[in-house]
């Protein structure tokens, strides 16, 4: 299946926060009415994840790497320091900070490893949180449903997954 046209993607990304906020009451109401059902819908939700991940080209988007900062674990820091050939302490001082929740995050966004072409310069060594985003293929997705309603403001894959899910 072909990826969604880049121009369409740009337009969609521009309108995404507003559109996701507009649709949030529908998605939240679906959750409220179908809690037990959603707990058993992982297979269906994962199929929607693969369908939309195939159609939406992350390289035409890059929104999560521009807007959301991943939380980094000690292992992430070790791996990234190694791949950038820096000592962990130097890597931390150059790129990282502790945020208001006590999480280790990049000092600024867009991510310093995001290229103009939306490629990640440390892709093979990227943080676990980057690997797992946008979470729509996670086991027990219902636990992340509310977070996903928020993530739909950033990620067109999440938006499409939720919007199709509520029609089922
Ligand atoms: S490390 Fe790579 S995947 Fe993660 S936010 Fe930065 S550019 Fe994106
Ligand atoms: S995961 Fe979502 S927000 Fe991130 S690049 Fe892909 S489509 Fe965009």
Q: How far is the CA of 130 from the centre of ligand 1 (A)?
A: 6
pLDDT digits (tens, 9 = 90+) for 24-51: 999 999 999 999 999 999 999 999 999 9
Residue 99: per-residue pLDDT: 95
Q: Which ligand is nearest to the CA of 119?
A: 1
pTM, full prediction: 0.92
Cα separation, 5 vs 22, in Å, equals 23
pLDDT digits (tens, 9 = 90+) for 117-165: 999 999 999 999 999 999 999 999 999 999 999 999 999 999 999 999 9
What number does the ligand 2 atom closest to the CA of 63 have? Answer: 3
Give the burial string for 127-152 (b: 16+ CB within 10 Å, else e).
bebbeebbbbbbeebbebbeebbebb
Cα separation, 55 vs 6, in Å, equals 11
pLDDT digits (tens, 9 = 90+) for 67-81: 998 999 999 999 999
Q: E strands within the chain? A: 96-98, 104-106
The finding on whether 67 has its CB within 6 A of some atom of ligand 1 is: no
Mutate-to-test residue for ligand 2 from 4, 156, 161, highest number of ligand atoms within 8 A of CB: 156
Reply yes or no on whether the pLDDT at 103 is more than 70. yes
Q: Read off the pLDDT band of 61 (50, 70, 90).
A: very high
Q: How far is the CA of 74 from the centre of ligand 2 (A)?
A: 24
What number does the ligand 1 atom closest to the CA of 114 have? Answer: 7
The residue contributing the CA closest to ligand 2 atom 2 is 155
């Amino acid at each position: 299946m072909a990826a969604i046209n880049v121009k369409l993607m740009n337009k969609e990304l521009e309108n995404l926060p507003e559109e996701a906020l507009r649709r949030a009451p529908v998605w939240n109401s679906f959750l409220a009415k179908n809690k037990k059902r959603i707990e058993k819908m992982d297979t269906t939700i994962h199929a929607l994840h693969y369908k939309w991940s195939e159609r939406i080209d992350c390289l035409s988007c890059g929104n999560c790497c521009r807007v959301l900062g991943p939380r980094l674990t000690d292992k992430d820091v070790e791996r990234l320091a190694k791949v950038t050939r820096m000592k962990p302490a130097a890597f931390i001082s150059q790129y990282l900070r502790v945020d208001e929740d006590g999480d280790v995050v990049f000092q600024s966004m867009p991510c310093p490893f995001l290229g103009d072409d939306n490629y990640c310069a440390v892709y093979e060594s990227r943080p676990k949180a980057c690997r797992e985003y946008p979470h729509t293929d996670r086991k027990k997705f219902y636990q992340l449903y509310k977070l996903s309603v928020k993530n739909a403001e950033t990620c067109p894959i999440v938006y499409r997954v939720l919007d199709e899910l509520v029609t089922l």
